[in-house]
Chains A and B, each alone.
Chain A
Amino acid sequence: MELIYEQSVPGRRGVKLPASDVPSALALPEGLLRKEPAGLAEVSELDLVRHFTRLSRRNFSVDTNFYPLGSCTMKYNAKVLENSATLFASFHPMTALLPGGEEFCQGNLGMLYDLGQMLADITGMDEVTTQPLAGAHGEMTGILLISAYHRAKGNRKKYVVVPDSSHGTNPASAAIAGYEIITVPTAPYGDMDMELFRQAMNDEVAAVMMTCPNTLGLFNPHIKEISDIAHSFDALMYYDGANLNAIMGKVKPGDVGFDVVHVNLHKTFGTPHGGGGPGAGPVGVKKDLISFLPQPRIVMDDEGTFALKTSSPGSIGRAANFYGNFGIMVRAYAYIIMLGREGLIQVSEQAVLNANYIKERLKPYYDLPYDQTCMHECVFSASRQLAHGVHAIDIAKFLIDRGYHPPTVYFPLIVKEAIMIEPTETESKAAMDAFIQVMIEAAEATESDPRVLLNAPLTMPVSRLDETKAAREQNVCCQG
């Protein structure tokens, strides 16, 4: 398909700007002026509409296809959340920071405050900042809060302990925050090896980062013991909230010893992910860490008036410009108040039921390296198919031809040829049954006619792409 720049015709224009109602200003000094206008596309509005509409049709999305992408959690995005966000679109964020400005944004500030309170309840924390702009940004913010906690006690610890099954962002975020990483392997029972964990712990460990349930979809029954051991070394427990959607109302990270959590709003609270973002990664903390939270913080006085606290001595500073991805908070807030207590519990229950249903139905066809009751996702291995020369990626491409977005493949790294399936709570039994049937067909084709998998996909605008060429030539911008 043509690039927008290839459709460009000099002099064409997609939008008319307002005419000027003021005199023209004197020109800027020559040395500051742009010599040539930037080479942006010149297209009519209709050309523009057709171009992007055509592009959109080259995408799988939750609204068009079942999207069982494990740990990424692609659930249905309720439309009323979008309508709600438009109500808040035109408000300038600086208004609240002007002298006396809070008075004019009580709705916005109150909503953020309430959302923080509700997230604190869901996670078992004492206070929440909405500032981090994505899950990984929340991780970094959370680890910086932990470093502030240790520094306030006069310690500058060196290490963060992370299980090898963790999301790659965990060690990356801890490293960006200035720590060295100690990786603890997973035991055959599917959780962090307790013996190796004990050996890894020492007084220089600042934090232990865990996902619970973990990326194998398993809830760690030793979690309390792990947090007790960590706390005995004055290390804090960090909870990666990527899998929080499995346990809402069932167990609170704060109750099992976690001190800091981040929440990915698109995974647990149904905000859309826009082809890669925006996200939002609010961070909750126990009371010992409140004073280190980023500024500005939203506070409520006795009369129920909301204000911004822009300076607090122990704060790690600002994690982002303003109050976080506010438009995403609006959507998450609307989702939580709409579903309510019982609805959120039901979300977790159905997500867990659906994952176990798929796990049981596919067990005869794919290896299941950790065969236990899972939470919201299950992880298979394509090792049986590999014996016939079919890799996890081939199964993924076969699914594309059949109209399904593939599950996550090759993650977690500890499972060979991993296929990680997360159906979420919003898929019907019929949709899952159809998916299961296609997965079974893939397993059968592996034995009867592997070419069907190796040649897939055939139905897409492009077939398998040369990633080596892309990396070698680094053509990241249209020339000419």
Chain B
Amino acid sequence: MNDSHYCPHTPEEIKEMLSVVGVSSVEELFAPIPSELRAKTFNIPSGMSEFETFTRMQAIASDNSAAMVNFIGGGFYDHIIPAVVDHLSGRAEFYTAYTPYQPECSQGTLQALFEYQTAICRLTGLDVSNASLYDGATACAEAAMMALRVTGRNRIVVDGCVNPFSRQVLKTYLYNQDVEVVEIAPLDGLLNHVALAACLDERVAAVLVQNPNFFGCIEDMSPLAAQVHAVGALLVASVYPVSLGLIMSPGEMGVDIAVGDGQSLGNPLSFGGPSFGFIAAKKAFIRNMPGRIVGETVDKNGKRGFVLTLQAREQHIKRHKATSNICSNQGLCALRGLIFLSSVGREGLAELARLNRDKAEYAKACLSTIPGVAVLQSAPTFNEFTVFLPKPAAPVVTELLRQGIAVGVPLGDYYEDSANALVVTVTEKRTKKEIDRLADVLRAEL
């Protein structure tokens, strides 16, 4: 009997194969493992049928609460996903393929990644993109390390308005290296330019900012870029791709390396993954860019084709001298991003971005009519904004969760003296009715 129904051999076939190998049992093949090293226990429960497995998975899923109306962001966003994204990315030829090491039989994946890279370059206004990174947070860390390599310096300045998780991941990446991370405390939900000026010197490899930032605020980074470049450092910006339908691109603002999380481009929330990180940069930095890059070329008959390129930078050739340790990318999630962007298209992305901002501005107006609630007004916002409640936000959040509303992310967990503050996110999926209900429930709770 086959315990793993995906092992196809019959007992007769196994017997035949054993005789070819010249052993009398499968067990004999494990003889190279010394007997004293063999496993003494193996406590995995016995297996089950496909039907029973799916039923069990359904039971686990139903241990979660029923659907929650999301006004939370914090790096992952509840956006629409056109049906074509699931259908096309779910095609087995994309889904069950590996890294395209043999370009002739992987042109589908390679061309799709080339088209993806193009979409990212056009979105960010920068020259070159790779075939994706793990996620937005690790992309920030990779961009910082890229800047360390480019400049040969060992200090990274990080705006405290950057997503706290991204800042934590950056510190983890640099945990055992002689690199100093300097964090600048936010001022009124924005980069503290005075504090930045004080620590900007020739030791700084990069300044890492986020736009819109964790408080939801949008800043013009053009003056900042000039200031950072004046000391020979690079400006790295983490950006929210949907916002780029409306907001000036990082390239236009003078950013050297742009990164971000691609989840909002056609990838489900999926409790935090998988997603993809994107990275784009000025052309001069391409050899220092981490991860896979697809390039256009021709075959021996002059026909256009695509290959993984600049691989000499990578771990499988340079080993410990490689540009990074990244071996895969997030090919399938990047493909979803490409299909998403190609389905909304040039005007559609701008429309989507406007829709997000309109809904968020409506919510902002609704919430600001609640007595005691104040909206942070220091800068324009996209689809996230910070509100101050007349009492600590945490218990309010808990109570609203019980009523099926994830009202927002309380800032007290991430910033001292911000116990009353809450970041509220409104995407195109939120209806006027849901926003009105949010305001009503919050009003009743305060």
Contacts and interface: CB of A to CB of B under 8 A. Distances in A.
B427 to A, nearest CB: 11
Contacts of B420: none
B97 A318 contact: no
A467 to B, nearest CB: 5
Given A5-B115, A61-B92, A317-B168, A461 B6 contact: no
Nearest to B53: A338
Interface residues of A, number: 209
Interface string A26-63: 10110111110111111101001100110111111111
A429 B16 CA distance: 10
B299 to A, nearest CB: 4
A249 B33 CA distance: 12
B76 A94 contact: yes
A387 interface: no
Nearest to B31: A373
Contacts of B210: none
A324 interface: yes
A80 B48 CA distance: 12
Contact of B432 (A21, A137, A471): A21
B357 A41 contact: no
A360 interface: yes
B296 A463 contact: no
Contact of A461 (B31, B42, B107, B341): B107
Highest count of chain B CB atoms <10 Å: which of A100, A139, A408: A100
Majority SS at the chain A contact face: loop
A154 interface: no
B131 A276 contact: yes
B326 interface: yes
Interface string B87-99: 1101111111111
A56 B107 CA distance: 9
A408 B49 CA distance: 34
A334 B92 CA distance: 19
A136 B131 CA distance: 17
Contacts of B283: 474
A256 B178 CA distance: 34
A297 interface: no
Nearest to B297: A470
B325 interface: yes
A309 interface: no
Interface stretch (A173-181, A282-290, A444-452): A173-181
Interface string A426-466: 11110000000000000000000000000001001111111
Contacts of A278: 273-274, 276, 328, 330, 332-333
B185 interface: no
A297 to B, nearest CB: 14
A186 interface: no
Interface string A165-178: 00111011111111
B375 interface: no
A167 B319 CA distance: 8
Given A275-B109, A463-B300, A467-B309, A13 B88 contact: no
Contacts of A352: 26, 29-30
A316 B362 contact: no
A107 B102 contact: no
Contacts of A25: 357-358, 360-362
25 contacts: A17-B344, A33-B246, A40-B345, A40-B349, A41-B115, A42-B345, A59-B105, A88-B270, A104-B401, A121-B43, A124-B39, A167-B327, A168-B316, A176-B145, A250-B30, A273-B97, A318-B137, A318-B172, A321-B136, A343-B3, A357-B21, A360-B21, A466-B298, A474-B283, A476-B286
Given A53-B91, A135-B328, 14 more contacts: A17-B344, A35-B252, A38-B346, A41-B119, A41-B341, A92-B78, A137-B138, A147-B176, A178-B178, A278-B274, A317-B169, A328-B274, A340-B48, A343-B3
Q: What 9 pairs between A and B have smallest CB-CB spacing? A: A340-B47, A274-B332, A322-B272, A93-B272, A107-B63, A276-B331, A278-B274, A178-B176, A100-B398
